[in-house]
Amino acid sequence: MIRAALAALALATSQAAAQDKPLPIPAGMEPLVIAIVEPDSQGEVETFGPMLRELVIRAEQANGTGPEDGHETLSDQLRWARKTVGLRLILSDSEIAQGWAARADLGHGCIGFPAALTAYWGTTSQDASPQQIATLSTLARSPVSFTSNPEMVAATYHQLVSNAAVALPETLVDSLLENGPAAIPEGTGCRE
């Protein structure tokens, strides 16, 4: 039963399933997203934590088998941990990042990088800049707090990009730090 659910989730999040549609983040930018969202306390990157946990929770909520927000039990947490381990074994880093980016909460009612890129900057995933992708990755860490506080976004963005430096090309890190986060225009969002 768990294998069937994992296989269905893996298929839904895999790039193979997304070939007919544009990817949520430009191909090749997955390491940038992973390095910002998933670093551990030593700055090492491992796609095992927030991305996979969020994919599992969103899948359960979508099919009506998960608890309501804020009502998780220890049993729920153990179930998510088991499913997360299983997903990590069958999905590549790129598939994890793409699946997560399609479903990430990015504030102002925007779910997924494509919706946020269109709402915030009027661009598509294929035309997104590394700065925009890094900004959305930062927003995903705390969308409610960050979308209404540009100073907090800037400080967190610089910290996260600095932490990600061990996993990214030096020229990319320098460019991201020099330019800072992409400004989110006031009054933008996916729904009111």
Question: pTM value?
Answer: 0.81
Residue 135, number of CB atoms within 10 A of its CB: 29
Judge residue 51's burial from the number of C-beta atoms within 10 Å of its C-beta, 0-12 exposed, 13-18 middle, 19 or more buried: buried
pLDDT profile of the chain (192 residues), mean per 10: 53 50 90 86 65 83 73 81 86 92 90 94 95 94 80 92 90 96 87 60
Terminal-residue alpha carbon distance, the chain: 39
CB-CB neighbours of 108 under 10 Å: 21
Both tokens of 148, joined, read 């209404």
- Specify the pLDDT at position 16: 45
